Amino acid sequence: MLTGRSPSPPSSDRVRPDVAVVGAGPIGLAIAWRCAARGLRVVVHDPAPGSGASAVAAGMLSPVAEAYFGERQLTGLLLASAARWPAFAAELAETTGVEIGYRTEGTLMVGLTGDDLAEARRLWAYQQGLGLPVTPLRPSELRDREPALAPRVRGGALAPTDHQVDPRLLVPALRTAAQRAGAVLVPQPVRFLSDVDAPVTVVAAGCGAAALTGLPVRPVKGQILRLRAPDGVAPGFRHVIRGYADGEHVYLVPRADGEVVLGATVEERSDTTVTAGAVQRLLRAGVDLLPELAEYDLVEAVAGLRPGTPDNAPILGPLPDRPYVLAATGHHRHGIVLTPITADLIADLVFGGVPDPLLAPFRADRFGGAAAVAASGGPEPTLEGDLWS
């Protein structure tokens, strides 16, 4: 096992953990589960488990649709984690008896206008060039799959391996799994890492990691809506739909219980207010793509803070000057899809003491001087209110 400070005397063995995890979001809880399942004594510190970004997240598992230009290493990690999701979901369901809304119908990517389609096709060509499964569909083929799509939709493509899960079911299930494996939850915040008494500390505090470690993790605000099909029926579509609509980028995630998640803004801000303009833009784009949404109930408008990093990729592994403090943060738009692989790689590191080569591109020391800039003032600003995941 990776081991830092000297073991405590036998009299305190009952209370002193082998590993302390700071943060009980999906990342911290999954790491706690994996570590406890290996027989390690685990304590998880969080005053409000599951109250971070995961509380609002859509739950798309979209390594293909979110394979963006210039992010090849991140795409590799996303694909590797998505490949672990079927077994991860099955194990979680078996361990807890809880269904987490894991669905495999796939993702449709669509363009409303000719310009939207041209923009989308540039990305699909890039994704196909990486060898990813993206199948262009004619409008008639699109409507065969999803008749509820607006007749104006000009074209689309299918990413059959991009799935979804419900984060509001996932996080409580992970908490149950971690606790059943023996992890102990301490409902208090950690103000300083020096307050934590454990040989190894894992910082999985989402946006809270910056204050604890000085790592360049910044809040990236996302406003998101939840609608509900009338009369308790399931939504009139089955795929996750990611659409370009008159220049706006939105996604629609249908749940079996009638809920539809419609998101999301991407804003370089740290507040969680919901603005009328964002709600208007999301609804307009959503209804343009799927007109029946206009008849749905609007049940929630909320904002969350993604833990962003300068290169949009997570920070995984030891702090540069503190080998027994492991970062597992900065998952930005991808923390749900990256939950299984993060948990496995960090638990392997804690248990075996040797970093998996997969961790190499995501080391905490990769930012160099850029880290200080980002930590103090954030990265280059993007357009406030830009819509996407």
Ligand X SMILES: Cc1cc2nc3c(=O)[nH]c(=O)nc-3n(C[C@H](O)[C@H](O)[C@H](O)COP(=O)(O)OP(=O)(O)OC[C@H]3O[C@@H](n4cnc5c(N)ncnc54)[C@H](O)[C@@H]3O)c2cc1C
The residue ranges that bind ligand X (CB under 6 A) are 22-28, 45-46, 48-54, 56-60, 189-190, 204-206, 208, 212, 222, 224, 263-264, 304, 306-307, 329, 331-337, 389
User: What gap in Å lies between CA 260 and CA 144, rounded to an integer?
Assistant: 21
51 or 73: CB nearest ligand X: 51
Minimum distance from residue 302 beta carbon to ligand X (Å): 8
Helix H segments across the chain? 26-37, 72-96, 114-129, 139-145, 167-180, 209-213, 276-289, 339-352, 369-377
Amino acid residing at 141: E
Listing DSSP states for 202-225 in one string gives: EE--GGGHHHHH----EEEEEEEE
Task: For ligand X, give the closer residue by CB, 22 or 359.
Answer: 22
CB 64 within 8 A of CB 132: yes
Nearer to ligand X among residue 53 and residue 157 (C-beta): 53
- Residue 64's SS3 state is coil
Among candidates 336, 367, 332, which has minimal Cα distance to 220? 332
Query: What letter represents residue 139's amino acid?
Result: P
Shortest Cβ 13–ligand X spacing (Å): 24
Tokens of 28: 């911290």
**C-beta separation of 14 from 39 below 8 A:** no
Beta-bridged to residue 186, according to DSSP, are 45
Report, in Å, the least distance between residue 342 CB and ligand X.
8
CA 291 to chain CA centroid, nearest Å = 28
> Shortest approach of ligand X to residue 157 CB, angstroms?
19
Q: Nearer Cβ to ligand X, position 239 or 334?
A: 334
Residue 157 backbone phi and psi in degrees, to 5 = -150, 155
Can you tell me the distance from the alpha carbon of 221 to that of 303, in angstroms, rounded to the nearest whole number?
7
| CB of 139 or CB of 361, closer to ligand X | 361
Least separation in angstroms between CB 61 and ligand X: 7
Q: Least CB distance from residue 57 to ligand X, whole Å?
A: 3
- Nearer of residues 40 and 328 to ligand X, judged by Cβ: 328
**Residue number with CB closer to ligand X (168 or 331):** 331
Question: Least separation, in Å, of the C-beta of 252 and ligand X?
Answer: 12
Residue 223: CB minimum distance to ligand X, A = 7
The residue (of 134 and 207) whose beta carbon lies closer to ligand X is 207
Contact between 251 and 59 (Cβ < 8 Å): no
For the sheet with 200-203, list strands across it: 184-186, 42-45, 19-22, 200-203, 322-329, 315-319
